[in-house]
Structure 1
Amino acid sequence: MAALPAWNLLKGKTAAVTGGTTGIGRAIVLAYISQGCNVAVNHLGLDKDEGLRHSLLEEVKAIEDTGIKAGKILELAGDVTKPETSTSLIQEAVSQWGKLDIFVANAGVFKPAELLNIEPSLLDHSVDVNVKGTFYSCQAAARQMVKQGHGGSIIGVSSVSALLGGGFQTHYTPTKAAILSMMQSMAIALGKDKIRCNALMPGTIGTSLAAHDMKNPTKMAALEERIPLGRIGDPNDMAGPALFLACEEMSRYVNATGLLADGGMYSKLQ
């Protein structure tokens, strides 16, 4: 799908995005850069993901080569379950570009599992990455924004799964509900500092996390039937909503809310 036009909506801004080399995070990174925003990107730094890292840098170079006033990119490896990872990411962004205006807590994990077979290790990992990782990273971003004193936008990537249950998601849906709740509470805590905190809530998106469903024709057909727009989402479908929440001029009074971007799936009861 086509990228968003280069409207220059984030000119001169600095953002940091966790889990930014693949899926929704990658789409957000590229959208922000095309809008003139400098972006610090976190990733795990695994050898198997080197191709994704290199291809992201190549895509950014291609955007720059079009001649638009694109932002710059820096990337830093680290595990978001460790608080120092996000602290380092933000320090690097501020060292490079002088400030932090936008933060997107996107890093997340999901592995479908039957309730009765879920081991403590799977539950712990889901909570550690999705809940603790989001908390630590947003806390680090908030500390920087409060210190700067000119507000900002913090976006936690939640899910329609914050509102709906799933038989193979009993370890996952609570973590996405936690992110929505976290953004609401952070918005209250940080409102006095003019920092807006919102949750982006994707529906079923064609990413590596949803690969198990994409490979099953029966499951795929059932999902598409459930979505009024008739198709599974693309990561680029999340770029516009993430841009909206980041852009002060467009969403300056949008705070403590969840932006549902699911093609209408949540509303289709029958």
Structure 2
Amino acid sequence: MLLKGKTVMVTGGSSGIGQAIAIGAAREGADVAFSYWGSDEGALKTKEAILETGQKALAISGDVALPESAISFVQETVEVLGKVDVFVSNAGICPFHSFLDMPAEIFERTMRVNLHGAYYMVQAAANQMVAQKTGGSIIAISSISALVGGEYQTHYTPTKAGLLSLMQSTAIALGKHNIRCNAILPGTIETEINRDDLADASKRSYMEARTPLGRLGKPEDLVGPAVFLASDMSQYVTGASLLVDGGMFVNLQ
């Protein structure tokens, strides 16, 4: 029960990594508010799993790309759950596309969701934490893509590098308020984002072979690292980045 008594907010909580972290936080004793966009079925699954742990759950539908969504998400969380102790910026998209003919609308939408949306959400959560005067933890789900390139991800990798940089800068800006800001960098995790890409058997085998632990990641693999950074066990950790990639990044051979 490492998060007992805490209130955790997660964006993109209806599937994948966000869903796993939201449920995992509840199992560690936290009340959880999560946002989602599109999948009511997935949101209901997350909410029911949280309630089964005996913790409170709040599901809020909203587009993180809109600045006003950040303010309303925080306000509703405080109205229902009373406070914000931990914020996890997870929501993101990655519509794979080649660089030379990248449609402006795909590039712009990816930037608005992954980077602009995260910025406004982090800002709103931080302002609430500052008002509470009790400190807090902010975690951004960046990616191994913040450190390496991707032929069909030229619109995506800059957003993940931006999230890593945002956590480094906000760690400095918010340290005086005892708010810690850290980034998690997942490797290849099996989620809806890359389901079609990994349907290619040869591509899947290649990615598995590049991973020293011999398998692709699961959303649940991110729960432990997120709980650690959310909990008081990491009270002197800020501005850090944690690779959760099965060793893929260091495997150059």
> Same-fold call, TM > 0.5?
yes
% identity of equivalent residues: 48
* Deviation string, structure 1 residues 98-157 (Cα, Å, up to 9, x no partner): 211000010000011111121111110111001100000000001000111111000111
SS in 1 for 2:249: helix
Report the equivalent of 2:20: 27
Aligned-pair CA distance for 1:169: 0.9
Answer whether contact 2:32 2:58 (CA < 8 A) is retained.
yes
Answer whether contact 2:140 2:167 (CA < 8 A) is retained.
yes
Please tell me whether residue 217 in structure 1 is matched to residue 217 in structure 2: no
Structure 1 residue aligned with 2:177, among 193, 203, 211? 193
Structure 2 residue aligned with 1:178, among 157, 162, 167? 162
Indicate the RMSD between aligned Cα atoms, in angstroms: 1.0
Structure 2 residue aligned with 1:57, among 31, 47, 56? 47
Please tell me whether residue 260 in structure 1 is matched to residue 253 in structure 2: no
Structure 2 residue aligned with 1:120, among 91, 104, 113? 104
Answer whether contact 2:86 2:138 (CA < 8 A) is retained.
yes
Answer whether contact 1:35 1:71 (CA < 8 A) is retained.
no
Report the equivalent of 1:5: none
1:5-44 equivalent positions in 2, closer than 5 A: 8-44=1-37
Structure 1 residue aligned with 2:84, among 97, 100, 107? 100
Aligned-pair CA distance for 1:196: 0.2
Structure 1 residue aligned with 2:94, among 97, 105, 110? 110
* Deviation string, structure 1 residues 170-228 (Cα, Å, up to 9, x no partner): 11111100000000000000000000000111000000001122200000000000000
Structure 2 residue aligned with 1:229, among 206, 209, 213? 213
Comparing 79-88 with 14-23, greater Cα deviation is found at 79-88
SS in 2 for 1:145: helix
SS in 2 for 1:171: coil
CA distance in 1, matches of 2:209, 2:68: 43
Please tell me whether residue 205 in structure 1 is matched to residue 198 in structure 2: no
Q: Calculate the TM-score normalised by the size of structure 2.
A: 0.98
* Deviation string, structure 1 residues 236-257 (Cα, Å, up to 9, x no partner): 0000000011002x10111001
CA distance in 2, matches of 1:185, 1:37: 27
Aligned-pair CA distance for 1:57: 2.6
Long gaps (5+) in structure 2: none
Comparing 199-208 with 94-103, greater Cα deviation is found at 94-103
Aligned-pair CA distance for 1:27: 0.2
Please tell me whether residue 141 in structure 1 is matched to residue 125 in structure 2: yes
CA distance in 2, matches of 1:112, 1:220: 16
Aligned-pair CA distance for 1:94: 1.2
Aligned-pair CA distance for 1:232: 0.5
SS in 1 for 2:216: coil
CA distance in 2, matches of 1:251, 1:89: 26
Aligned-pair CA distance for 1:60: 2.6
Report the equivalent of 1:240: 224
Q: Calculate the TM-score normalised by the size of structure 1.
A: 0.92
Matched residue type, 2:46: L
Aligned-pair CA distance for 1:50: 2.1
CA distance in 2, matches of 1:127, 1:256: 22
